[in-house]
A and B are shown apart, each in its own frame.
Chain A
Amino acid sequence: MSPTDSKIMSLPQAVARMIRPGDSVALSCALEGLIPFAASQEIIRQKIGPLTLIAPIANISIDQIIAAGLAQKVIAAWVGNVSTGIGYNFRRAVEKGLPCPLEVIDHTNFSITLALEAGSRGLPMAVSRSPLGSDIALNNAHFKKFTCPHSGQALLAVKALNPEVALIHVQRADAQGNGQSWGASGFTRQAALAADRVLLTCEEIVDSEAIRSDPERTLVPGFLVEAVCEVPWGAHPAPVQGYYDLDNDFFVSYAQQTRDPEGARAWLREWVYDLSGRDAYVEKLGPETRNRLTVKHSALSTPLEYGW
């Protein structure tokens, strides 16, 4: 590898370079796991907005961007806190326009995945039967009911989505940004292919030969990736298979602390603005929490023969 091939950057550098005001950003693509919290919080630290946020299960990473006043639109199937239900900043933004008004385009998990899949294929729409009969498909510019010209069935034409950026966290990547992940992937594959550019964060940068030893594990090929950043604990408090499990206490205390706007501002100060970066965040978590979450019951996969 020549040094110019490397896509390795620091996270602040990658965020500053790749995220622009007005962008639509897909994140939290794998649902409950592998949430790119380090990247979403770096966006908050750099105060880049307004943004359109695209997610299936828009977990508290999105609630935090809303709290920081950087979101103008959310396109999602669900917005909240997976451990406790309600995302209070999301509610305040929709109900009261605080800290700023928020437009919401409602989807389902399936329809938003199909919208990105259509985007990944360069097509203007996807076809789905769900959510026929749901109010989600009514008065929503992203859904049009039509009659199938082949079968005569009623179906929905779902408008394609092509985000400007996809923020994706994986377990490991090489310097060229070939990102490997194991565990459920939600709509990560579709988001990476539909987006104009991919910002990849990973727990570890590994040698390219490690990637090539198990090529089917590559979820995001490096040619789609503009920057790769090594960020250990980059998805905390979400789980990352093989590295650390869900920090449920963190989700619960986030819910308790963000019930009112003052609490939400204090939370952002404590966990984002007052920290210099992700290293300081990991330091603040402390060894006890980190130890509580790391893998204690090893389950290795059996090596495969990829020779000839």
Chain B
Amino acid sequence: MSGYTPAEIMVTAAARQIQDHELVFVGMRLPLLAFMLAKSTHAPGAIGVFENGVIRDRPAAAPIITMGDCPNQTGALKLCGLEEVMSLLSRGRVGLGFIGGAQVDVFGNVNTHRVDLPGGKTVRLPGSGGGADIACLAGRLLIIMNHERRRLVPKVDYITSPGWGEEPNWRTAQGLTRGGPAALITSLGVFSFPQGRAMLCSLHPGVSLEQAAAETGWELESSPQLTTTPAPTDQELEIIRRFDPNRFWTK
């Protein structure tokens, strides 16, 4: 199993951010797989909280597409509603939350509302869902996105999910009492956010710095200790493919 897709290394890198025994707010798409991978490997004690009201400490009973699928409810610890799981976030009990998006900027602000095209046209996107809630209230925010110049932009057209704003004290000034982006995982590498600005800390195997810089809309800063993201192991790939057997998310 030497070959893997960009989505698979993104899932693997995201899973490694989950700490054992923490409450994880699990978003749709790749985060669903990252949670199940972490549960099956290094974080068996992690507890997944899903915005529809599912709280579970086991991977789903069978492959799922959405958090509302039947196998994600079978064997759950608790099935409740939005208000209850969001209160866990608001109370500060959730260690890590995942979100994706259409655009992210150097401060980790995420846009899932609208993209302004040259010439005045605007593309309307679906919106926040629980993304803004997670970005405001989770202990650490993890952003997962394909690495393209049109997505990693100097300034997002709309802040759906607030990151570090524009400087380190911005969140506090807004009234946010915790959180902020801890990592941005892309199809080319992994960023961290020292002083509230994205810094490339690892490149996926086979990706050059020039390639990453060309696909980044801001002036790419990389860590002096830039490393190579560990490739997914055979065991990790086997688990990911068990939960996404038709490669719906990880093609």
Interface residue ranges, A against B (CB under 8 Å): 30-33, 56-57, 76-80, 82-83, 85-87, 90-91, 94-95, 106-111, 113-114, 117, 128-136, 145, 153-155, 182-190, 238-239, 241, 245-246, 248, 295, 297, 299
Contact = CB atoms under 8 A, between A and B. Distances in A.
Interface residues of B, number: 57
Nearest to A91: B124
Contacts of A241: 70, 73
Main secondary structure of the interface of B (DSSP, over half): loop
Interface of B: 28, 50-54, 61-62, 64-71, 73-75, 79-83, 86, 89-90, 113, 121-133, 135-137, 158-162, 165, 170-171, 174-177, 248
Contact of B127 (A106, A110, A154): A106
B78 to A, nearest CB: 10
Contacts of A80: 125-127
Contact of B82 (A186, A238, A245): A186
Contacts, number: 191
B176 to A, nearest CB: 6
Contacts of B165: 133
A82 B66 contact: yes
A184 B53 contact: yes
Contact of A134 (B53, B79, B81, B136): B136
Contacts of B62: 297
Nearest to A251: B65
Contacts of A245: 69-71
Closest 6 pairs between A and B when the two form their complex, measured CB to CB = A32-B68, A154-B175, A184-B53, A133-B162, A80-B126, A78-B129
9 contacts: A32-B52, A33-B52, A77-B129, A95-B123, A108-B130, A130-B90, A153-B175, A184-B52, A246-B66
B129 A57 contact: yes
B162 A76 contact: no
B126 A85 contact: yes
A241 B64 CA distance: 13
Nearest to B67: A32
Contacts of A248: 65, 248
Given A110-B86, A131-B132, A133-B165, A299 B74 contact: yes
A189 B84 CA distance: 11
A297 B66 contact: no
Contacts of B70: 239, 241, 245-246, 295
B159 A135 contact: yes
B159 to A, nearest CB: 5
Contact of B128 (A78, A83, A297): A78
Contacts of B131: 108
Given A154-B175, A182-B79, A184-B54, A83 B136 contact: no
B126 A155 contact: no
Nearest to A128: B90
B69 A31 contact: no
Nearest to B110: A134
Given A31-B68, A130-B132, A188-B81, A183 B73 contact: yes
